[in-house]
Amino acid sequence: MQWPTIDDFREVRRALPVLAAALFLGALLLPMWVINVHVVQYPDEVLHLQLYAYPYIAGDYVEMAGLNKYIGFYYPDPVYWTPNFEVHENAIKVPEWSLGPLAFIAVAATGLFVAVAPTMEKLKRGLKWQLIGTVTVFSVMLIDIQYRLYQAGHSLDPNAPVIGVEGFTPPIWGKYEVANITSYSRLGLGAYVTMLSIGLLVVAFYYRDSSVEFGDLPGRLRRWFDRFGQDASPEEYEAEPPLTSNPER
Protein backbone atom coordinates (compact mmCIF):
# COMPACT_ATOMS: atom_id res chain seq x y z
CA MET A 1 0.00 0.00 0.00
CA GLN A 2 1.41 3.36 -1.06
CA TRP A 3 -0.10 6.70 -0.11
CA PRO A 4 -0.37 9.36 -2.83
CA THR A 5 2.33 11.99 -3.17
CA ILE A 6 1.88 15.69 -3.85
CA ASP A 7 2.55 15.05 -7.53
CA ASP A 8 -0.34 12.58 -7.62
CA PHE A 9 -2.72 15.43 -6.87
CA ARG A 10 -1.98 16.89 -10.28
CA GLU A 11 -4.27 14.18 -11.56
CA VAL A 12 -7.85 15.24 -12.16
CA ARG A 13 -9.26 12.19 -10.38
CA ARG A 14 -7.53 13.18 -7.12
CA ALA A 15 -7.50 16.97 -7.33
CA LEU A 16 -11.15 17.53 -8.21
CA PRO A 17 -12.58 15.81 -5.11
CA VAL A 18 -10.38 18.09 -2.99
CA LEU A 19 -11.53 21.16 -4.89
CA ALA A 20 -15.15 20.02 -4.65
CA ALA A 21 -14.74 19.58 -0.88
CA ALA A 22 -13.55 23.18 -0.55
CA LEU A 23 -16.49 24.41 -2.61
CA PHE A 24 -19.00 22.40 -0.57
CA LEU A 25 -17.73 24.11 2.57
CA GLY A 26 -17.69 27.50 0.88
CA ALA A 27 -21.29 27.04 -0.22
CA LEU A 28 -22.33 27.16 3.43
CA LEU A 29 -21.33 30.83 3.48
CA LEU A 30 -23.61 31.69 0.56
CA PRO A 31 -27.40 31.86 0.20
CA MET A 32 -29.03 28.75 -1.23
CA TRP A 33 -32.36 30.32 -2.07
CA VAL A 34 -33.30 33.89 -3.00
CA ILE A 35 -36.81 35.35 -3.01
CA ASN A 36 -37.77 38.76 -4.39
CA VAL A 37 -41.13 40.00 -3.16
CA HIS A 38 -43.44 42.71 -4.53
CA VAL A 39 -46.19 43.98 -2.23
CA VAL A 40 -48.49 46.99 -2.32
CA GLN A 41 -47.37 47.99 1.18
CA TYR A 42 -43.90 48.72 -0.27
CA PRO A 43 -44.72 50.28 -3.67
CA ASP A 44 -41.28 51.82 -4.22
CA GLU A 45 -39.09 48.85 -3.34
CA VAL A 46 -38.68 45.12 -3.71
CA LEU A 47 -38.18 43.04 -0.60
CA HIS A 48 -35.42 40.46 -0.70
CA LEU A 49 -34.88 37.25 1.25
CA GLN A 50 -31.77 35.06 1.21
CA LEU A 51 -32.04 31.66 2.87
CA TYR A 52 -29.01 29.58 3.81
CA ALA A 53 -28.33 25.87 4.29
CA TYR A 54 -28.59 26.43 8.03
CA PRO A 55 -31.32 28.37 9.93
CA TYR A 56 -30.38 31.86 8.85
CA ILE A 57 -32.35 34.31 6.73
CA ALA A 58 -30.79 37.51 5.43
CA GLY A 59 -32.42 40.53 3.87
CA ASP A 60 -35.85 41.92 4.65
CA TYR A 61 -36.94 38.99 6.78
CA VAL A 62 -38.47 41.18 9.50
CA GLU A 63 -40.67 43.01 7.01
CA MET A 64 -41.70 39.73 5.37
CA ALA A 65 -42.56 38.17 8.72
CA GLY A 66 -44.84 41.13 9.39
CA LEU A 67 -46.59 40.62 6.04
CA ASN A 68 -46.80 36.84 6.27
CA LYS A 69 -48.51 36.91 9.65
CA TYR A 70 -51.62 38.40 8.02
CA ILE A 71 -52.15 35.20 6.05
CA GLY A 72 -50.87 32.89 8.81
CA PHE A 73 -47.66 31.85 7.07
CA TYR A 74 -44.60 31.60 9.32
CA TYR A 75 -40.91 30.84 9.01
CA PRO A 76 -40.17 27.19 9.91
CA ASP A 77 -38.95 26.27 13.38
CA PRO A 78 -35.50 24.60 13.06
CA VAL A 79 -35.96 23.09 16.57
CA TYR A 80 -32.29 22.38 17.32
CA TRP A 81 -30.84 25.73 16.25
CA THR A 82 -31.58 29.24 17.47
CA PRO A 83 -32.22 31.19 14.25
CA ASN A 84 -31.81 34.92 13.64
CA PHE A 85 -35.57 35.31 13.19
CA GLU A 86 -38.47 35.01 15.59
CA VAL A 87 -40.14 31.61 15.60
CA HIS A 88 -43.93 31.65 15.87
CA GLU A 89 -45.58 29.09 18.11
CA ASN A 90 -47.69 27.84 15.18
CA ALA A 91 -44.76 27.44 12.79
CA ILE A 92 -44.11 23.98 11.36
CA LYS A 93 -41.13 22.19 12.85
CA VAL A 94 -38.27 21.45 10.45
CA PRO A 95 -35.45 19.95 12.55
CA GLU A 96 -33.52 18.83 9.47
CA TRP A 97 -32.80 22.47 8.64
CA SER A 98 -30.47 22.45 11.64
CA LEU A 99 -28.65 19.46 10.17
CA GLY A 100 -27.98 21.09 6.79
CA PRO A 101 -24.36 22.02 7.54
CA LEU A 102 -23.62 18.44 8.59
CA ALA A 103 -24.60 17.20 5.13
CA PHE A 104 -22.20 19.63 3.44
CA ILE A 105 -19.39 18.84 5.88
CA ALA A 106 -19.96 15.10 5.41
CA VAL A 107 -19.75 15.17 1.61
CA ALA A 108 -16.69 17.45 1.82
CA ALA A 109 -14.95 15.10 4.27
CA THR A 110 -15.79 12.16 2.02
CA GLY A 111 -14.10 13.91 -0.91
CA LEU A 112 -10.90 14.40 1.06
CA PHE A 113 -10.99 10.79 2.22
CA VAL A 114 -11.42 9.50 -1.33
CA ALA A 115 -8.67 11.75 -2.72
CA VAL A 116 -6.02 10.19 -0.49
CA ALA A 117 -6.96 6.59 -1.32
CA PRO A 118 -3.74 4.55 -1.27
CA THR A 119 -4.53 2.34 -4.27
CA MET A 120 -6.12 2.87 -7.67
CA GLU A 121 -8.76 0.27 -6.90
CA LYS A 122 -9.83 2.08 -3.74
CA LEU A 123 -9.67 5.45 -5.48
CA LYS A 124 -11.95 4.35 -8.31
CA ARG A 125 -14.35 2.65 -5.94
CA GLY A 126 -14.35 5.72 -3.73
CA LEU A 127 -15.07 8.07 -6.65
CA LYS A 128 -18.01 5.91 -7.66
CA TRP A 129 -19.64 5.73 -4.25
CA GLN A 130 -18.88 9.33 -3.38
CA LEU A 131 -20.69 10.51 -6.51
CA ILE A 132 -23.64 8.22 -5.84
CA GLY A 133 -23.79 9.23 -2.18
CA THR A 134 -23.49 12.95 -2.87
CA VAL A 135 -26.20 12.94 -5.52
CA THR A 136 -28.42 10.92 -3.19
CA VAL A 137 -27.88 13.26 -0.24
CA PHE A 138 -28.72 16.41 -2.17
CA SER A 139 -31.62 14.77 -3.99
CA VAL A 140 -33.15 13.82 -0.65
CA MET A 141 -32.55 17.34 0.65
CA LEU A 142 -34.25 18.84 -2.41
CA ILE A 143 -37.27 16.56 -2.05
CA ASP A 144 -37.48 17.34 1.66
CA ILE A 145 -37.32 21.11 1.01
CA GLN A 146 -40.16 20.94 -1.49
CA TYR A 147 -42.24 18.86 0.91
CA ARG A 148 -41.64 21.33 3.74
CA LEU A 149 -42.63 24.20 1.47
CA TYR A 150 -45.85 22.38 0.69
CA GLN A 151 -46.43 21.73 4.39
CA ALA A 152 -45.80 25.36 5.35
CA GLY A 153 -48.10 26.67 2.64
CA HIS A 154 -50.88 24.28 3.61
CA SER A 155 -50.63 24.84 7.37
CA LEU A 156 -51.81 28.44 7.44
CA ASP A 157 -52.92 29.78 10.78
CA PRO A 158 -56.76 29.71 10.80
CA ASN A 159 -56.73 32.65 13.21
CA ALA A 160 -54.80 34.91 10.82
CA PRO A 161 -56.30 38.36 10.14
CA VAL A 162 -56.84 37.64 6.45
CA ILE A 163 -59.23 34.74 5.98
CA GLY A 164 -60.05 32.74 2.90
CA VAL A 165 -56.46 32.34 1.68
CA GLU A 166 -56.13 28.95 0.01
CA GLY A 167 -53.18 26.70 0.68
CA PHE A 168 -50.23 27.10 -1.65
CA THR A 169 -46.78 25.65 -2.30
CA PRO A 170 -43.93 28.13 -2.74
CA PRO A 171 -41.79 26.85 -5.65
CA ILE A 172 -38.05 26.53 -5.40
CA TRP A 173 -37.89 28.31 -8.74
CA GLY A 174 -40.69 30.42 -10.16
CA LYS A 175 -43.36 33.01 -9.53
CA TYR A 176 -46.23 32.65 -7.09
CA GLU A 177 -48.94 34.97 -5.81
CA VAL A 178 -50.68 34.87 -2.43
CA ALA A 179 -53.19 37.56 -1.56
CA ASN A 180 -51.48 40.81 -2.58
CA ILE A 181 -47.96 39.35 -2.36
CA THR A 182 -46.12 38.42 -5.55
CA SER A 183 -42.89 36.50 -5.07
CA TYR A 184 -40.15 35.31 -7.41
CA SER A 185 -38.02 32.42 -6.18
CA ARG A 186 -34.56 31.71 -7.56
CA LEU A 187 -31.59 29.59 -6.61
CA GLY A 188 -28.92 31.41 -4.68
CA LEU A 189 -25.18 31.47 -5.33
CA GLY A 190 -24.64 28.71 -2.77
CA ALA A 191 -26.87 26.37 -4.78
CA TYR A 192 -24.88 27.04 -7.95
CA VAL A 193 -21.60 26.44 -6.11
CA THR A 194 -23.05 23.16 -4.85
CA MET A 195 -24.02 22.11 -8.37
CA LEU A 196 -20.53 23.04 -9.60
CA SER A 197 -19.04 20.86 -6.87
CA ILE A 198 -21.15 17.91 -7.95
CA GLY A 199 -20.09 18.55 -11.53
CA LEU A 200 -16.44 18.32 -10.48
CA LEU A 201 -17.15 14.95 -8.90
CA VAL A 202 -18.71 13.81 -12.17
CA VAL A 203 -15.56 14.85 -14.06
CA ALA A 204 -13.35 13.09 -11.50
CA PHE A 205 -15.39 9.92 -11.90
CA TYR A 206 -15.21 10.22 -15.69
CA TYR A 207 -11.40 10.27 -15.50
CA ARG A 208 -11.19 7.56 -12.84
CA ASP A 209 -9.29 5.22 -15.18
CA SER A 210 -6.92 7.88 -16.48
CA SER A 211 -3.97 9.73 -14.99
CA VAL A 212 -4.83 12.83 -17.01
CA GLU A 213 -3.61 16.00 -15.31
CA PHE A 214 -4.97 19.53 -15.31
CA GLY A 215 -2.41 20.56 -17.91
CA ASP A 216 -3.88 18.00 -20.30
CA LEU A 217 -7.43 19.32 -20.06
CA PRO A 218 -7.11 22.30 -22.46
CA GLY A 219 -5.85 19.99 -25.21
CA ARG A 220 -8.61 17.49 -24.56
CA LEU A 221 -11.23 20.23 -24.64
CA ARG A 222 -9.88 21.55 -27.94
CA ARG A 223 -10.03 18.08 -29.45
CA TRP A 224 -13.54 17.60 -28.12
CA PHE A 225 -14.75 20.85 -29.68
CA ASP A 226 -12.93 20.03 -32.93
CA ARG A 227 -14.83 16.77 -33.16
CA PHE A 228 -18.14 18.62 -33.09
CA GLY A 229 -16.92 21.45 -35.28
CA GLN A 230 -15.88 19.43 -38.30
CA ASP A 231 -17.19 16.48 -40.24
CA ALA A 232 -14.67 13.87 -39.22
CA SER A 233 -15.36 10.19 -39.65
CA PRO A 234 -15.53 7.73 -36.75
CA GLU A 235 -12.37 6.10 -38.10
CA GLU A 236 -10.48 9.36 -37.66
CA TYR A 237 -11.66 9.59 -34.06
CA GLU A 238 -10.49 6.09 -33.29
CA ALA A 239 -7.14 6.79 -34.91
CA GLU A 240 -6.39 9.67 -32.55
CA PRO A 241 -3.74 8.66 -30.01
CA PRO A 242 -4.67 9.13 -26.33
CA LEU A 243 -2.99 11.97 -24.49
CA THR A 244 -2.19 9.69 -21.56
CA SER A 245 -0.83 6.23 -22.03
CA ASN A 246 -0.35 5.34 -18.38
CA PRO A 247 -3.77 5.11 -16.72
CA GLU A 248 -2.51 3.31 -13.62
CA ARG A 249 0.29 5.41 -12.23
Instruction: Tell me the per-residue pLDDT of 141-178, one tens digit each, with 9 for 90 and over.
Output: 999 999 999 999 999 998 888 888 899 999 999 999 99
The SS3 assignment for 141 reads helix
Query: Average pLDDT, whole number, for the chain?
Result: 89
Has residue 74 got a pLDDT over 60? yes
The answer to the question of residue 213 being in a domain is no
Q: Look at residue 212 and tell me if it is in a domain.
A: no
Round the CA-based radius of gyration of the chain to a whole number and report it: 24
Is residue 231 in some structural domain? no
In a domain, 49, yes or no: yes
Global confidence as pTM? 0.85
The total number of structural domains in the chain stands at 1
Does residue 24 carry a pLDDT above 60? Answer: yes
Answer for the pair 248, 119: CB distance below 8 angstroms, yes or no: no
Q: Sort residue 57 into left (φ over 0), alpha (ψ -120 to 50) or beta.
A: beta
- 58 occurs within a structural domain: yes
Q: Does 246 score more than 90 pLDDT?
A: no
- What is the residue type of 204? A
pLDDT band at 229 (very low <50, low <70, confident <90, very high): low
pLDDT value, residue 1: 62
- Are 211 and 11 in contact by the 8 Å Cβ rule? The answer is yes
Number of Cα atoms under 13 Å in the Cβ half of residue 154: 7
- In this prediction, residues 61-82 reach a mean pLDDT of 93
Please say if the pLDDT value at position 98 is more than 90.
Answer: yes
Residue 164, domain member (yes or no): yes
- Note down the domain range covering 109: 6-206
Cα dist. 112→19, 22, 77, 127 in Å?
A: 9, 9, 33, 11
| Distance from C-alpha of 221 to C-alpha of 136, rounded to nearest angstrom | 29
Q: Please tell me the distance from the alpha carbon of residue 96 to that of residue 93, in angstroms, as a whole number.
A: 9
How many residues appear in the chain? 249
Predicted pLDDT at 179:
85
**Would the CA dihedral through 190, 196, 199, 200 be positive or negative?**
negative
Q: Which of 212, 202, 186 is nearest to 32 (CA)?
A: 186
Domain membership of residue 18 (yes or no) is yes
Least confident of 39-48, 213-222, 230-239: 230-239
pLDDT band (50, 70, 90) for residue 27: very high
With bands split at pLDDT 50, 70 and 90, how would you rate the model's confidence at 239?
very low
Residue 219 lies in a domain: no
Distance (Å, whole) CA 101 – CA 82: 14
